[in-house]
Amino acid sequence: MIKVGDQLPTATLMEYVEVEGNGCSIGPNPVDVQKAAAGKTIALFAVPGAFTPTCSAKHVPGYVEQAEALKAAGVDEIWCLAVNDAFVMGAWARDQKTAGKVRMLADGDAAFAKAVGLTLDLNGKGLGLRSNRYSMLVKDGKVATLNVEAPGKFEVSDAATLLTQAKS
């Protein structure tokens, strides 16, 4: 499992881009994790899945509500990761009104979740391999803080916890 002081892994996430080009939405756009995090402070949180109850009712809304406070505490960007495709993450972003506040990044094949050692096997519930719920503060591509939830819990990866850590 990734730990404080580790560099983020080499991975490519996908982000649905609403902007239109040549009459069509641009759609899924690759995001090189290391390049995107370089020189920035990132509040990164991962959830088991888009549109799932806790993720939609508590986790994402908390980061949307705390976006300005996190930025005032020195966070450049907020990233939400889930093992879903970019189209689902784009729809979830619209539903959660994350525009300009939280980047909704798809880890479609769970490559990032595997690389950081934070997968969650939900095959028994028909959901396949997912990401565990966690949050981390990343500074210039390195993990500064890490908050990993026990399966089924939502106690330490919330926006308020990461905000407190960003302020310290």
Average pLDDT over residues 68-87: 98
Please report the pLDDT score of residue 127 as a whole number. 79
User: Bridge partners of 122?
Assistant: 128
Residues whose CB is less than 8 angstroms from the CB of residue 50 and which lie 6 or more positions away in sequence, other chains included: 56, 82, 84, 88, 89, 91, 92, 104
Please report the pLDDT score of residue 121 as a whole number. 85
Task: Give the span between the Cα atoms of 154 and 156, in whole angstroms.
Answer: 6
Residues whose CB is less than 8 angstroms from the CB of residue 94 and which lie 6 or more positions away in sequence, other chains included: none
State the DSSP code for 59. I
Return the CATH number of 12-167, one of 3.40.50.720, 3.20.20.140, 1.10.340.30, 3.40.30.10: 3.40.30.10
Average pLDDT over residues 19-33: 77
**Proportion of the chain above pLDDT 90, given as a percent:** 82
pLDDT above 80: residue 123? no
Secondary structure of residue 6 in the 3-state scheme: coil
Task: Give the span between the Cα atoms of 145 and 139, in whole angstroms.
Answer: 9
Position 13, amino acid? L
For 103, phi then psi, to 5°, come to -80, 125
Average pLDDT over residues 36-65: 95
Active-site residues, by number, are: 55
Task: Give the span between the Cα atoms of 100 and 64, in whole angstroms.
Answer: 9
Residue ranges per structural domain of the chain: 12-167
